[in-house]
Amino acid sequence: MSWATAWRIARRDLNARFKGLRLLLVCIFLGTAALAAIGSLTAAIERELAANGQAFLGGDVQIELWQRSLNDDERAALEELGTVSAGTRLQAMARKDDIAAPIELKAVDGAYPLYGTLVLEGGREADAPEGNEAFLAPGAADRLGVAVGDSIAIGTENLQVAGIIEDEPDRLGEGFQLGPTIIVAEDLPERAGLLAPGAMYQSKTRVALPAPRNLEAVEEDLEARFPDSGFDIDTAERAAPGTDRFVERMSEFLTLVGLAALVIAGIGIGGGVSSYLDARRQSVATLKVLGADSRDIARVYALQIFAASAVGSLAGLAVGVAVVPILASALKGLLPVDAGFVFDPSALLLAASYGLLVALVFAAPPLMRARHFPAMALMRARVAPLARDKAAILVVIAGLAAIVGLALVTSSRPMLAGGFLAGAAVVLGLLALLGWLIRKGAGALPRPKSPIARAALANIHRPGSSTGSLVTALGFGLAAFVLLAAIQSSIDGNIQSRVPERAPDYFVLDVPRDRQADFEALVAQTDAEAQVRAVPALRGSVLAFGPEDAMTRTSKLEEIPDGAWALRGERGLTYADEVPPGNEVTGGQWWGSMYQGEPLVSVDEEFARAAGLEIGDRLTFGVLGAEIETRIASTRRIDWESMGFNYVFVLSPNALADTPHNLAATIELTEGTPTGPLLQALVREFPSTSVIEVGGVLQQARTILEQVGLATLAAASVAVLAGLAVLLGAIAAARASRTYDTVVLRVLGADRRQVLTMQLAEYALLAGALAIVALGLGSLTAWLVVTQLFEFDWLPDWGEVFAVLGLGLAVVLVFAVGGSLPLLRAKPAQALRAL
């Protein structure tokens, strides 16, 4: 039989509404739609970052330094590379009459912007501001109540609002900000008295290279020429490192969710194809009687299954593309992507390939099982089930190898994708083993006296029972419920723990050391019961670490060890006589007050463990161009969830006291005290300080975490939907195979209530046995996603998890009842004639 003839027969036999293959179609649709949406969104974001990397960063290369600008040698080295644009970033306060607002002051030179265009409201393109001009972000203008032409004050200088920013080309590369942006001329911070010795500011110097260059080589050359300069270097290839990491982690999670949905769907595909071919057994037998051989049978029904898979895949691709604008709108402001349609051929091809490969792997066994049996065996398949076809194993292995290869080649973290697929295979194997154990255990149990319970128990272990497929479907379906609840409640828990409702009212930066008493007295005038905590605040980088005779230079590391993030770039430093609040010494000893020995440092115990440091080892810090060598005296456990000053490194006072620096302070007012008067007084008496209102920062943090939670919820829901579809398919397949049993029971005198009760008892026994397994499986997967992929704390709400699991059990029983109702309508005489 030719392929054309086989397709003609397949098309005539194929129902226009794909009756019998709807489960396969739905399962392929769900998995393909998820992968298409995920791939398209990720590709759009990565394409945007790649295409506009120079504009997002503001240059090809950017060097960041804390509390100092480039020296002459460093500046000359950058000018050799190309056009240089320098500037300063710092927190400051902007004032208009009695109104004050914390802002991010962005001072830029005349070369700004090197790439992109600064656009002001009205579509006017602008260069860098000059003299006392200021360009305000809309948020700054709204908070100060000003418009173009009005005057504002920053530090000791009065500025004129020369424009409202409509498009700031390098906004994404600036990272997280504690206030809206105001762009000013490069020399304004110094003229306004904001760059006094010890002030907390950051210099950013950008370079536009004259011709395409290997940016990685440029970065390595700068690090080699200035190994101890404290440079934090970014390139246009990673213009927004935080965004890159977030996109990578979310993409990995969402891709794994899509693969999970396809794996779960594959189970439904296998069951759906088995049921479809079982319903077509007479057609298969008829074709064989008329002379069709096994190859012809395989062609006819393979074409039907491929047609249904192709329709499901195409529908999934269309829906995946259609939902990208919705996802982009939900993530607006968090990720650089336009809320429009995205068509990425490679992402769609990958999604379709996964869908068709999964269909092949799970449809092959039941399809090939029907090839080699004579017509009589097919006619009597109800009472003489078909044996397995060993040749299907080769097809399944080839399909699985293709899926694994595709996942490893296309994943940014092949080990993660490979581990996930290996874990999925192990879970499938464990569920198959569990199904076998449940059947054996049910067969070994004593027979209950109740005929209904006895029949329900017999249905679990009798020959030809569907216990194996039901166990797999129920296991994955219930585990998906647990997974969704555990991930979502953990993210909610992180929002509650990391973003507390109650925190200090203000953070204040750059409080002069010699005016600490005046600062505290000013706060007391507003609220005598206010709690004020001030600490020395500096920035520095770890230049070297390790045992005294074998120290490792940080600049020589090819890769920062996992968990030793404090080795990367410059970090906050402080000193103290006593152990800071919220810290607990876990190793070594604290130096105490009035210490005058060698410089010491206390480090976070988790950082010490990650960097391989022990008590007595050395740390060399680079602070304002000077090297400070210290010995590790103790390790501390830090309560990072407290909204206060938490430092990885706390030094003894004699190590840093002579270094120019200011203080940082927190102010917590008594409940009910108005914050406005204090803010105005601080801005008036301490114009060079920066006051940060914590409420706005907390709201930004909550918004970001809630957006992550929303994306996670939407993605995990796909796996739940796939699990429900598979569950419905398994129940439908079991119903089809039990028509004969039900009819026999009805002939022997069983009424409808007894038949329904028997079905409920069987599903209740299976679901109850699988609840604990699903709880463990779903919780373990959720733990891996939350802690290893998102790097959040594991904070599930177990009450919510158990409630959702209970809901899943209820859904199973409802589906079981709904799936069993058609059995009650089967007419014994008609059903017996059809068997």
Alpha-carbon gap, residue 244 to 252, rounded angstroms: 12
Peptide bond into 674 cis (omega under 30): no
Asked whether residue 227 carries a pLDDT value surpassing 70, the answer given is: yes
- Please choose, from the candidates 186, 667, 713, the residue with its C-alpha nearest in 3D space to the C-alpha of residue 490: 713
188, 157 contact by CB (below 8 A): yes
pLDDT tier at 246 (50, 70, 90 boundaries)?
low
Instruction: Please state which of the ranges 109-123, 407-421, 703-717 shows the lowest mean pLDDT.
Output: 703-717
Average pLDDT over residues 721-728: 64
How are beta strands 118-120 and 124-126 bridged, if at all? Answer: antiparallel
Specify the pLDDT at position 480: 74
CA 133 to chain centre: 41
Asked whether residue 212 carries a pLDDT value surpassing 90, the answer given is: no
Specify the pLDDT at position 180: 85
456, 761 contact by CB (below 8 A): yes
How many percent of the chain have pLDDT more than 70? 74
85, 109 contact by CB (below 8 A): yes
- Please choose, from the candidates 178, 363, 185, the residue with its C-alpha nearest in 3D space to the C-alpha of residue 266: 363
More confident residue, 648 or 411: 648
810, 763 contact by CB (below 8 A): no
Residue 280 φ then ψ, to 5°: -100, 15
**Quick one: angle between helices 345-369 and 241-279, nearest 10?**
30
Q: Which residues contact 603 (CB under 8 A, 6 or more apart)?
A: 613, 619, 632, 634, 635, 636, 648, 649
Residue 110 DSSP one-character state: T
Residue 592, helix vs strand vs coil: coil
Specify the pLDDT at position 403: 76
Specify the pLDDT at position 560: 82
Average pLDDT over residues 442-461: 76
Residue 321 DSSP one-character state: H
Specify the pLDDT at position 633: 94
How many percent of the chain have pLDDT more than 90? 13
Asked whether residue 736 carries a pLDDT value surpassing 60, the answer given is: no
More confident residue, 289 or 92: 92
Instruction: Please state which of the ranges 398-407, 518-527, 697-706 shows the lowest mean pLDDT.
Output: 697-706
Q: Which residues contact 198 (CB under 8 A, 6 or more apart)?
A: 67, 510, 513, 538, 659, 660, 661, 662
Asked whether residue 759 carries a pLDDT value surpassing 70, the answer given is: yes
Q: Which of 265-279, 625-639, 712-726 has the highest mean pLDDT?
A: 625-639
Alpha-carbon gap, residue 174 to 57, rounded angstroms: 8
Asked whether residue 383 carries a pLDDT value surpassing 60, the answer given is: no
Asked whether residue 136 carries a pLDDT value surpassing 60, the answer given is: yes
How are beta strands 600-604 and 570-575 bridged, if at all? Answer: unpaired
Sign of CA dihedral 129, 131, 133, 139: positive
Both ends of the chain: CA-CA distance in Å?
Answer: 29
Average pLDDT over residues 143-169: 90
pLDDT tier at 98 (50, 70, 90 boundaries)?
confident
Sign of CA dihedral 623, 629, 634, 635: positive
Sign of CA dihedral 594, 598, 604, 605: negative
Specify the pLDDT at position 730: 63
Specify the pLDDT at position 10: 72
H-type helices in 122-233, by residue range? 138-144, 171-174, 188-191, 215-225
Average pLDDT over residues 590-612: 91
More confident residue, 35 or 75: 75
pLDDT tier at 150 (50, 70, 90 boundaries)?
very high
Angle at 348 between CA 345 and CA 351, to 5 degrees: 150
DSSP result, 571-587: EEEEE-SSPPTTEEEEE
Q: Which of 650-659, 740-749, 802-811 has the highest mean pLDDT?
A: 650-659
Work out the number of other CB atoms within 10 angstroms of the CB of residue 91: 23
Residue 84, helix vs strand vs coil: strand
Q: For residue 483, with 0-12 CB atoms within 10 Å meaning exposed, 13-18 middle and 19 or more buried, which class applies?
A: buried
Average pLDDT over residues 118-140: 90
Residue 316, helix vs strand vs coil: helix
pLDDT mean across residues, the chain: 78
Specify the pLDDT at position 437: 84
Per-residue pLDDT tens over the stretch 618-631: 999 988 878 899 99
Work out the number of other CB atoms within 10 angstroms of the CB of residue 217: 9
Average pLDDT over residues 727-740: 63
Instruction: Please state which of the ranges 136-145, 159-168, 496-505, 672-681 shows the lowest mean pLDDT.
Output: 496-505
More confident residue, 756 or 537: 537
92, 103 contact by CB (below 8 A): yes
Average pLDDT over residues 312-338: 72
508, 645 contact by CB (below 8 A): no
More confident residue, 821 or 216: 216
Specify the pLDDT at position 785: 74
The pair of structure tokens assigned to 782 is: 């959720």
Specify the pLDDT at position 40: 79
More confident residue, 192 or 29: 192
Please report where in the chains the tokens 């391989």 appear, as a residue. Answer: 612
More confident residue, 640 or 619: 619
Specify the pLDDT at position 109: 92
Q: Which of 49-53, 102-106, 213-217, 358-362 has the highest mean pLDDT?
A: 102-106
Alpha-carbon gap, residue 646 to 634, rounded angstroms: 16
Q: Which residues contact 635 (CB under 8 A, 6 or more apart)?
A: 585, 586, 587, 588, 602, 603, 604, 605, 608, 615
Specify the pLDDT at position 576: 92
More confident residue, 686 or 46: 686
More confident residue, 381 or 780: 780
- What pTM was computed for the model? 0.59
Asked whether residue 124 carries a pLDDT value surpassing 80, the answer given is: yes
Which DSSP helix (H) or strand (E) runs through 543?
A: strand 531-546
